[in-house]
């Protein structure tokens, strides 16, 4: 059984196509992995921010309680001061 030149040509074309498809697949896998790392990083940052905000809220409540007890304004908290100023600009 002999292999014709046309069959060999077709075989080479199929092999080249397979190689290109594998390369594309590898690139897409790399892209997916990069996106997974990005999502994981964003989730971690979001969780850290959430924890930070919870702590800030606790601190703000303490400051507000102290302010009410001492009959003072809460403007001593920089973030609250900034928020109040920002609302006034609108």
Q: How far apart are CA 49 and CA 44, in angstroms?
A: 9
3-class DSSP state for residue 23? helix
Q: How far apart are CA 23 and CA 68, in angstroms?
A: 66
Per-residue model confidence as pLDDT tens digits over 25-82: 999 999 999 889 999 888 988 888 888 888 888 888 877 777 666 655 544 556 656 6
Confidence at residue 76, expressed as pLDDT on a 0 to 100 scale:
55
Confidence at residue 87, expressed as pLDDT on a 0 to 100 scale:
54
Q: Enter the pTM of the model.
A: 0.52
CB burial class (10 A; 0-12, 13-18, 19+) of residue 87? exposed
The range of the structural domain enclosing residue 14 comes to 5-89
> Quick one: tokens of 6?
């046309």
Q: How far apart are CA 67 and CA 54, in angstroms?
A: 20
How many structural domains compose the chain?
1
């Amino acid at each position: 059984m002999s292999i014709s030149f046309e069959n060999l040509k077709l075989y080479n074309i199929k092999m080249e196509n397979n190689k290109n498809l594998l390369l594309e697949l590898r690139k897409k896998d790399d892209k997916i992995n990069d996106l997974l790392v990005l999502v994981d990083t964003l989730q971690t940052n979001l969780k850290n921010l959430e924890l930070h905000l919870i702590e800030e809220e606790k601190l703000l409540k303490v400051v507000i309680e102290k302010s009410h007890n001492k009959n003072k304004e809460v403007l001593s908290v920089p973030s609250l001061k900034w928020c109040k100023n920002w609302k006034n600009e609108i």
